[in-house]
Structure 1
Amino acid sequence: MKNLRDVWSSRFMHYISEVQKYMQFIFTGHIAIVLVFLVGAGGYQYSEWLKIVESDFPAEGLIALIIGVLLAFSRPTTLLREPDQVYLLPLESKMSLYLKKALAWTFWSQVWIVAIVYIISIPLLKAVTELTTTNIWLLFLLVIALKYVSVQGEFSYRYSERGHFVWVDRLIRAIIFGVTVYMGLQMQLILAFVAAIIGCIYVLVFRKKCANEPVPYEHFVKLEQNRMMSFYRFANYFTDVPHLRGSIRRRAWLDWFYNFIPYQKGNAQKYLVFRTFIRTDDHFYLWLRLTAISAIIAAFVDIPFVTWFIAGALSFATTIQLKQALLASGEFRMDMLYPLPEGARKVAVMQVVRLTMIAQAIIVTLCGVTQPMFYVTAIIIFVVSEITAKVSKP
């Protein structure tokens, strides 16, 4: 490598190829169909709601709040690796070349989220405010500029403070930028300008503190590892990620669930599998995430066919992934020492998966109780999960 720009280019190309390798498994045909239904149903619901929205709806405050939060979350992507803590130390005085490239990618990889949310809010702004098209698009440019400032701000804070109490920094930036956007939407341009200047001064304070601080390699390396691990865990829901390291949490607040399994010899495997599901992040958050998505769709989409289709697709995904995950434990387990029947674990996995899907059906049905024919959703979830659990291969 001739210089740090080449180092960044090499790592960036490796990072892009790594992401593309797993994205092809994530965005498969059936996921694309689900996304099309989600976008279509969401767009239809949004357009129908705009026809009846009240003129006094607090659109400015809601949009400012959402945009402010999105602007505040600007975690830097540095692509630093653990050996860099040693091998890049001699080049620390030239690290600004590398970090500029990293911050540029951070901005362009995150700004589209804020831009999409703002563009989606434009029909609402036109429906309940007196903003002109010119005003709306000028505010769009302001939001883009604030995102750039926020990216620089979070990086400078993490650089100078080593990431300690970063939530305080994010809260302050969310408030400042949220107020800036709100004043802009209210056409209080002077107040919006003052709030923006305050935000820039706040960022410059930490940027000046960075001048006398060494590069916090350890913090940025840990941040990068956590970011990539989150991506690998998400990708693991769709395909096997060989180098993924799962994490276990106590979750003492869910201990009372274990009381549903009677204390007797025949339930040993069932207790173990259920405890594995509760304590393993990958299993538990998989069920929680897909259940939450299905519940939100059931609560806000009043098109029964769309709700049934998505609920069925997500129940299929939840069942097959939970079953395979709970059966695919290749490590040594304490239950191997006990004289239990050979197929006891498979039976226990089926029982636990059935319990989780019954819970999912109940939650989704309760969330959609105000929708027409809401009870059909529970039937679809239960039927699809039962067929999937019995037909799918271990």
Structure 2
Amino acid sequence: MNSLHDVWRARFTHYMGEVQKYLRFVFTGHLAIVIMFVLGAAGYKYSEWLKTASSDFPSILLATVILGIVLGISRPITLIRKPDEVYLLPLETKLPLYFSKALRYTFGSQIILVALLYIVTWPMLRQVAGLEPLTIFIGLVVALLLKWWNIYSEFSYRWAYKGHNVWMDRIVRMVCSFAMLFSVLNVQFIPMIVLILIIVSYPMSWKKKVQQTPFPYEHFVRLEENRMMGIYRFANYFTDVPNIHGSIRRRAWLDGVYKLIPYAKQNTQEYLIFRSFIRTDDHFFLWLRLTVISALAAAFVNIPIAIGVVVAALSFATAIQLKQALITSNDFRMDMLYPLPKNAREKAAVKIVRYTIIVQAIVVLLAGLGIPYFYVQGLIVLVVGELTLRLSK
């Protein structure tokens, strides 16, 4: 590499390749269908609410609080790696060039969410709060500027204090972002001037400390590793990611459910698989995520056919993925030493998945109580789940 510009370009190319390689498996299939129906239903509900919303509704307060929280969460993306603690030391004086590119990418990747949220709140601010389009547009520009300020401030704070108590810094920036947007949308000039002074001086308060403190490689390496691990774990819910294994948690609050499996010799495999399902994050959160999405669709989508398609797709996904995950386990277990029938684990896994489908059907049934023929959705979950278990290999 001839310069830090080449270092950033190479790392950015590798990073985008990694993200695209795995996330292309995420937004396909049943999730794409669910997202389409949920967004359509949410948009319809939102438009209907705007027609009847009272002018007394605190729309400006709600919009600025949500945006303030999103603006405050501005974790920088630096793509720093473990070997940099040694190899970049000779170039430490030139690091600002590298970090300027990193912060620009962070801004470009995070500004999309801010812009989308603001555009969603635009009709509410226009129709309910009665704001002028120019005022709303100025608020959008201010929100984008605040996003850059938040990213720069969090990066500087992490450098100066190695990330210690970063939550306090975030709370301060959330409050400042909320107050600034609230003042802009309410056209309050004196609070705006005071807040501008605070916002400008806030990151400057530790500028000297940043200049005197060596770059904390350990903190930013750990930050990048945690961020990438979060991406890999999310993608691992949809496809196999090498070297990623679901963590194990006891979940003591669910200890009582093990009593549902009768204590008997013939139930050994069933008990072991049930316990593995509860304690393994990949399996448990897979079921939980699909069940919650099904419940949200049943609760907020007012089109019965659409609900049926969504819950059927998610019931199929739950059954097929859990069955394959619970049967095809390559881990050594003590029960392998005992002369049990070859298909004992498969039968036990099917029985456990059937239990999860029943619970999912009950949740969907309860979520759709206010919809006509709500019981049909529960039956669809049961029928599709049972057919998947019987017909799949």
TM-score w.r.t. length of structure 1: 0.94
1:36 Cα offset (Å): 2.6
Matched, 1:362 2:354: no
Cα distance in 1, alignment partners of residues 360 and 279 from structure 2: 18
Q: Is the 8 A contact 2:41 2:300 kept in 1?
A: no
Matched, 1:126 2:93: no
Q: Please list every run of 5 or more consecutive structure 2 residues that lacks an aligned counterpart in the other structure.
A: none
Cα distance in 2, alignment partners of residues 384 and 200 from structure 1: 58
1:193 Cα offset (Å): 3.9
Deviations 1:61-120 (A, max 9, x none): 111111111111111111122222222223222222211111111111011001101101
Cα distance in 1, alignment partners of residues 346 and 193 from structure 2: 64
Paired residues, what number?
393
Matched, 1:63 2:63: yes
Q: Is the 8 A contact 1:311 1:377 kept in 2?
A: yes
Q: Which amino acid aligns with 1:291?
A: T
1:361 Cα offset (Å): 1.9
1:144 Cα offset (Å): 0.4
Cα distance in 1, alignment partners of residues 226 and 367 from structure 2: 33
Cα distance in 2, alignment partners of residues 70 and 85 from structure 1: 31
- State the secondary structure of the residue aligned to 2:205: helix
1:307 Cα offset (Å): 2.2
Cα distance in 2, alignment partners of residues 334 and 202 from structure 1: 59
1:131 Cα offset (Å): 0.8
1:30 Cα offset (Å): 4.9
1:148 Cα offset (Å): 0.6
5 Å-filtered alignment, 1:82-161, equals: 82-161=82-161
Q: Is the 8 A contact 1:71 1:174 kept in 2?
A: yes
Q: Is the 8 A contact 1:283 1:322 kept in 2?
A: yes
Q: Please list every run of 5 or more consecutive structure 1 residues that lacks an aligned counterpart in the other structure.
A: none
- State the secondary structure of the residue aligned to 2:24: helix
Determine the structure 2 residue equivalent to 1:297: 297
Cα distance in 2, alignment partners of residues 86 and 284 from structure 1: 41
Determine the structure 2 residue equivalent to 1:383: 383
1:55 Cα offset (Å): 1.7
Matched, 1:179 2:174: no
1:31 Cα offset (Å): 4.1
Q: Is the 8 A contact 2:33 2:310 kept in 1?
A: no
Cα distance in 1, alignment partners of residues 361 and 206 from structure 2: 49
Q: Which amino acid aligns with 1:83?
A: P
The change in CA–CA distance for 1:200 and 1:351 in structure 2 (over 3 A counts) is farther
The change in CA–CA distance for 1:92 and 1:252 in structure 2 (over 3 A counts) is farther
Cα distance in 1, alignment partners of residues 329 and 90 from structure 2: 44
Determine the structure 2 residue equivalent to 1:235: 235
Q: Which amino acid aligns with 1:240?
A: D
1:261 Cα offset (Å): 1.8
Determine the structure 1 residue equivalent to 2:259: 259
Q: Which amino acid aligns with 1:138?
A: I
TM-score w.r.t. length of structure 2: 0.94
Q: Which amino acid aligns with 2:147?
A: K
- State the secondary structure of the residue aligned to 1:26: coil
1:175 Cα offset (Å): 1.9
1:264 Cα offset (Å): 2.2
1:201 Cα offset (Å): 2.6
- State the secondary structure of the residue aligned to 1:339: coil
Cα distance in 2, alignment partners of residues 2 and 93 from structure 1: 15
Cα distance in 1, alignment partners of residues 71 and 319 from structure 2: 36
1:190 Cα offset (Å): 2.7
Cα distance in 1, alignment partners of residues 326 and 388 from structure 2: 15
Give the stretch that moved more between structures: 44-53 or 365-374: 365-374
- State the secondary structure of the residue aligned to 1:173: helix
Cα distance in 2, alignment partners of residues 373 and 193 from structure 1: 57
Q: Is the 8 A contact 1:177 1:196 kept in 2?
A: no
1:244 Cα offset (Å): 1.7
Deviations 1:41-60 (A, max 9, x none): 22222112211112211111
- State the secondary structure of the residue aligned to 2:122: helix
Give the stretch that moved more between structures: 289-298 or 197-206: 197-206
Q: Is the 8 A contact 1:177 1:195 kept in 2?
A: no
Determine the structure 2 residue equivalent to 1:46: 46
Note the aligned Cα RMSD (angstroms).
Answer: 1.9
The change in CA–CA distance for 1:201 and 1:339 in structure 2 (over 3 A counts) is farther
Q: Which amino acid aligns with 2:143?
A: V
Cα distance in 1, alignment partners of residues 196 and 292 from structure 2: 36
1:28 Cα offset (Å): 2.9
Give the stretch that moved more between structures: 193-202 or 312-321: 193-202
Q: Which amino acid aligns with 2:106?
A: T
Determine the structure 2 residue equivalent to 1:10: 10
Q: Is the 8 A contact 1:237 1:321 kept in 2?
A: no
Q: Is the 8 A contact 1:311 1:380 kept in 2?
A: yes
